[in-house]
């Protein structure tokens, strides 16, 4: 019974780290896509704002999740 508890605890910790990594990678992708649109001057202002803000939200939430999971 005790080993099952530890397994679920560590599985949940790893799941949080994986989810944080996925969020961080999605955020980086969104920010890179925004930079490409900005550099090519093909994106409208609305597109740049939406992709940039979403990329920043994903990036910083992923970094925060990884940082908080590593401390505990």
Counting as low any pLDDT under 70, the low residues of the chain are: 1-13, 70-72
Domain segments of the chain as ranges: 12-71
Return the pLDDT at 14: 79
pLDDT score for 11: 64
* pLDDT of res. 29: 96
CB-based contact 49:21 (threshold 8 Å): no
Q: What is the pTM of this model?
A: 0.75
């Amino acid at each position: 019974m005790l080993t099952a508890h530890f397994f679920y605890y560590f599985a949940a910790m790893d799941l949080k780290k994986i989810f944080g990594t996925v969020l961080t990678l999605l955020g980086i992708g969104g920010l890179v896509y925004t930079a490409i649109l900005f550099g090519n001057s093909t994106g409208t202002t609305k597109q740049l704002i939406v992709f940039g803000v979403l990329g920043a939200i994903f990036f910083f939430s992923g970094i925060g999740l990884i940082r908080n999971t590593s401390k505990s």
